[in-house]
Every structure is written in structure tokens, then in C-alpha cells.
Amino acid sequence: MNLFGVFSVPDWILLITTVLVSTYLYVARHRNYWKNQNVPHEKFSIFGHTRRIMSKTFHELDQERYIKYGKVYGMFEGGKPSLFVADPELIKQILVRDFLKLPNRRSVKFHNPLLDNLMSVVSYKRWKVIRSVSTPAFSSAKLNKMCSLIESCIDVTKRHLIDAAEKEQDLELGHFYGNYTLDVIARCAFGTTMDSHSDQTNDFVRMSKIITGGKKNLALVLTFVFPALARLLKLKLFNEESVMYYKDLSSTTMETRRRTKTKQDDFLQIMIDAQERNRTLDVSQGGEEDAVKFFDIDSKLTDEAPLSSKTLSEEEALSQCMMFILAGHGTTSSVIAFALYLLALNPEAQNKLRREVDVCIKENGPKPSMDVIDKLQYLHGVVSEALRIFPPASRLERETTEDYILGNTGIKVPKGCVVAVPVWAIHHDPQYFPDPDSFKPERFSKDNVDSIPPYVYLPFGAGPRNCIGVRLGLRAVKMALFHSICNVEFVRTAKTKVPLELFKGFGAISSSDITVGVRKRTS
């Protein structure tokens, strides 16, 4: 093509230029969105955000923006405006009061029916059904029955821990308690008994490493930064072989139980029952323990509309079993690992916890009930403080189903955009938690906990769409800490990293190297 009658430009260059300019104009169409509303915001950039999330952790980025822009600020993800909110009253507005306006988490497509039916990603109408039929699995009655299953996993883990202490070994806590957590999930969700510590070649163990091992890749980056492109390319975020393994395992176990008419007290049985009849479900939690209420914030759903169904499809039932692996494995093991790491760095706190555990055992025997363990105040403080310093998720996210006005601020968020709560940044704000980088379990004692404002401590989220497995997860964590501290000591060694190096990019907050020494008790 002859341009301006001066020089010739090949048609293909003009075509590429036109496509690139058009793409930029489309992606940048919202670049003045926050400026026009006078909202403090990060400057629009197509690739700047991508570079940063590849070089820094999410929590670092969120904390930098929190310090720079304040408690309400805007940014752009894939060209779309996102609003970050850290003001406690506005957080309650988003997660609780306006739940029906923001009932969904960030929309993600896995292009796999099993993964696309996970409770954590389905849209509100199906989520409401899935949550209602899954809730009985986490009632007090069911959890009390599951505690005996967890205790059997504790016994196995305890043997390996004592052996490591006698040899004065250094342990990578994430891996070690990942084995324990996997045993708990296998037992409570899939009805399978195993010892992951001894048998790393077991398919259940091997596939868990494959499915949850990848922390960052191009597919994840594109899904987060350019979701439309990721959907167009139908990118796969999880290993297909491992997904199919857990699907086949669940399906086979379900079919065997139906054929033999056998039942077990596990999550898989709840899913079988949820398929078989349109029954009235007992969704009551029973007597809620104070230790659980502290984490389970305003989760009651006030939508009185009747459920469209009380049964699950086969795919939906299988998906919720898969959720145990994806949502429970790394998260639970990391909480245990972080707590013991902090105790290793703070021997006075460790000794105080051990004294509390010793008194409990003297009064209640070597295997006290979960109700007794739940009443241990310093153990509660240790777990709570570990969750404050290292929350499982660096942020909470909700997606608007309509144009949304935030409280009385007048700030408008377009339909289909994300409103996020930067949990890590809030947990490390000295306004709410003085000396935030120090490990102080006493913050959560009965005398001090009332000084923490509502909605600034959110390790498991808040509102109806919080973490449904918090009760089971906390029991697995507390039982592991109780019996570990009872039997061995954890110490800082030359291999212990201070500070820890956390994974950059996506997923739950975790580290590949949480190493401490394990020693026999000296007292």
C-alpha cells in the first residue's frame, strides 16, 4: 500500500498494526475509570502488572498498594477495573450485607466438568444447593465421628515424628505435615486408609503432588491477567491425569458402596446420599464451639428463596470430593507448618504451649476429646496468630453480578468486575495489630481479643461464602499441634530460613522450605 503517496508499506504490516492498535484501545478502554471517580489507583498498564506478579508475591503487591493508596483503591486486571477495600465497615458491606449483589467469587473456567463444578467456583444458584447438601458433613455430630479417623492419622504421624526426633533430624514441615494432611483427606473424604509418610509411591500420594504442585505457569498468568484470552484458548490449569485419577477413585468407591449397600462416616457418603434422594437435609451445625465461632464470621445465608433442588448430579458430587484435595491439602499442612516454624523461632511460646498440653493430658489422659482440645486457650492463640501472620489466602475476592455502588462512598464497580479484600495487608497493619511482624499468641487471649475490631481478622473469609471446611481444618490443625508439641521439641537450626521465602504469584500462601530441627523432649 502506498502511504501518503510517499512510501510503500506492506499490507501485512498495516494489518498487524491495525490489530495491535485495536487490541490496545479495547484493553485500555477503562484506563480513566478510577481517575474519573477520583479513586486513588494504580496507573493503567497492560504489561506492568503482569511483570510484577511474576516477580513478587500477591501479598507483597497488595501491601505495597495498601500503604501507598490507603484503604480503598482501584487497579486494573486484564484491562478491567478492580476495587480493593480494606475498611472494616465496607468489608462487612461487601461480604455480608450486600452478599446477594456479590455472591460469586472471581469467575474462573477450568474447561473440565469436574473442576468447573467445584463449590468454590460455581455461580450462586448452584453454590447454594451444593453448600446446603455439603454442610451436614461439617456438623458437630459428623465431625466428632471424623475425629476418630483423624486420630488414627495422628498416631501414624506421631511415630514418624518421634523417630525423627530420636535421630535429631531437620524436617521440612510442609512436606511432613502434607503427608499427615493427605492421610486425613484420604480417610475423611475418600474412605481410604494409608501412610503417606512411608509410601510416597502410592498413586493417591503421587497424584496429589502432581495436581497441587504447580504454583505458577503461563496458563495461570493468562487466566488471571487476561481471562478472556485464557477462555478463548481453553487453557488447562491442573494436570488432567491427576484430575481423572481422583474422579475415577471417587466414582469407583461410590459405586462399590451402592452395590454392597455399605456406609461410612465420611464426606464421600454425604455425596452419595445427596445424589440418591431429594430429601430434607439437616444443615444445623449443632452447638457451635466458641473456638470455631471466632473464625466462622457471619456465614448464615439470609436468602429465604427455596432451593431449586436438594440433590446433586454425579459430576457435582465427584467435584466436591476433589475440592478436599485442591482446597484442603496444601492449606491445612501450611497452617501446621507455619505454626510450628513460629514456635521453633519463639521457644518461650513453645514451652508455654507445651505446659498447657501437659496439664491437659494429666487431667484428661493421652487422647483428650476434641471438645477438650478446643478449650485450650493458648493453643487457640497460637493457631490464631499463625493464621494472622500467614493467612491461607492473601486476599478475598467477590465478583459483581450487576453494577455495584459501594456503601455510601458513591464508588461504582461495573458488572463482572472484582472487588477484593487484601487480607494479608490488613493482618499486618500496625493500626490493628501493633508490632505486626512479631509472633504474639496473647493477642487472641480472652483478655485481649475484644480489642481487635470486627472484620480486620479474616483468615477464612467472612459471610455466607466463607470457607465451608473451616471446622474440619481447625480440628486437623489443633490435633496435629497438640500431639506434636506433646511428644517432641522444634528448634531453629542452620537450615531454618529467616525470613521464609514464600511462593510468588498464585495460590495459597505457602513456602517450599519450612525447615526446623526436631528433638526429643528435654522436660
Residue 98 per-residue DSSP state: T
Q: Which of 17-21, 226-230, 268-272, 357-361 has the lowest mean pLDDT?
A: 17-21
pLDDT (average), residues 515-521? 97
Every domain of the chain and the residues it spans: 1-30, 33-520
- Phi, psi angles (nearest 5°) of residue 462: -160, 165
Which grid cell is 474?
481447625
Q: What is the pLDDT of residue 159?
A: 96
Q: What is the pLDDT of residue 174?
A: 95
Q: What is the pLDDT of residue 282?
A: 45
pLDDT (average), residues 233-257? 85
* Gyration radius of the chain over CA positions: 24
- Chain-centre distance of CA 356, in angstroms? 29
Known binding-site residue numbers for heme: 467
Rounded to 5°, the CA angle 499-502-504 comes to 140
Q: Which of 37-41, 83-87, 140-144, 425-429 has the lowest mean pLDDT?
A: 140-144
* CATH code for the structural domain at 33-520: 1.10.630.10
Residue 57 per-residue DSSP state: B
User: Does 441 or 225 have the greater pLDDT score?
Assistant: 441
Residue 96 per-residue DSSP state: I
Q: What is the pLDDT of residue 286?
A: 45
8 A C-beta contact, residue 442 and residue 448: yes
Task: Give percent above pLDDT 90 in the chain.
Answer: 53
Q: Answer whether residue 54 shows pLDDT above 80.
A: no
Q: What is the pLDDT of residue 281?
A: 44
- CA atoms within 13 A of residue 117's CA, in its CB half-sphere: 18
Q: Give dist(CA 361, CA 383) in Å, integer.
A: 19
Strand, coil or helix: what is 38? Answer: coil
Quickly state the pLDDT bin for 360 (edges 50, 70, 90): very high
CA neighbor of 129 nearest in space, from 269, 13, 383, 301 = 301
Rounded to 5°, the CA angle 290-294-296 comes to 105
Q: What is the pLDDT of residue 353?
A: 99
CA neighbor of 286 nearest in space, from 477, 148, 142, 149 = 142
User: Does 223 or 258 have the greater pLDDT score?
Assistant: 258
Max mean pLDDT range (70-84, 126-140, 203-217): 70-84
Between strands 2-3 and 7-8, the pairing is antiparallel
User: Does 136 or 436 have the greater pLDDT score?
Assistant: 436
8 A C-beta contact, residue 412 and residue 403: yes
8 A C-beta contact, residue 479 and residue 154: yes
Burial bucket for residue 452 (CB in 10 Å: 0-12, 13-18, 19+): middle
Q: Answer whether residue 21 shows pLDDT above 70.
A: no
Q: What is the pLDDT of residue 271?
A: 83
Helix (H) or strand (E) holding 163: helix 140-166
Which grid cell is 48?
506492568
Which grid cell is 65?
498498594
Q: Give dist(CA 153, CA 176) in Å, integer.
A: 13
Q: What is the pLDDT of residue 320?
A: 87
Q: Give dist(CA 461, CA 443) in Å, integer.
A: 19
Give the chain's length.
Answer: 523
Q: Which of 16-30, 302-316, 447-461, 506-520 has the lowest mean pLDDT?
A: 16-30
Q: What is the DSSP string of 376-388?
A: -HHHHHHHHHHHH
Between strands 412-413 and 72-77, the pairing is unpaired
Those residues with Cβ within 8 angstroms of residue 270's Cβ, 6 or more apart along the chain or in another chain: 133, 134, 136, 137, 142
Quickly state the pLDDT bin for 49 (edges 50, 70, 90): low
> What digits encode the pLDDT tens for the residues 277-333?
544 444 444 444 556 667 777 777 776 566 656 678 888 888 888 888 888 888 999
Neighbours of 23 (CB within 10 A): 12
Strand, coil or helix: what is 323? Answer: helix
User: Does 68 or 300 have the greater pLDDT score?
Assistant: 68
Q: Answer whether residue 498 shows pLDDT above 80.
A: yes
- CA atoms within 13 A of residue 3's CA, in its CB half-sphere: 7
Q: What is the pLDDT of residue 313?
A: 84
Q: What is the pLDDT of residue 31?
A: 77
Q: What is the pLDDT of residue 287?
A: 45
Burial bucket for residue 201 (CB in 10 Å: 0-12, 13-18, 19+): exposed
Q: Answer whether residue 401 shows pLDDT above 90.
A: yes
Known binding-site residue numbers: 467
Q: Give dist(CA 65, CA 93) in Å, integer.
A: 22
Q: Give dist(CA 388, CA 458) in Å, integer.
A: 8
Q: Answer whether residue 24 shows pLDDT above 80.
A: no
Q: Give dist(CA 387, CA 402) in Å, integer.
A: 33
Q: What is the pLDDT of residue 314?
A: 84
Which grid cell is 462?
467472612
Those residues with Cβ within 8 angstroms of residue 97's Cβ, 6 or more apart along the chain or in another chain: none
The average confidence (pLDDT) of the chain is 86
> What digits encode the pLDDT tens for the residues 97-109?
999 999 999 988 8
8 A C-beta contact, residue 380 and residue 446: no
Quickly state the pLDDT bin for 210 (edges 50, 70, 90): confident
Q: Give dist(CA 311, CA 299) in Å, integer.
A: 22
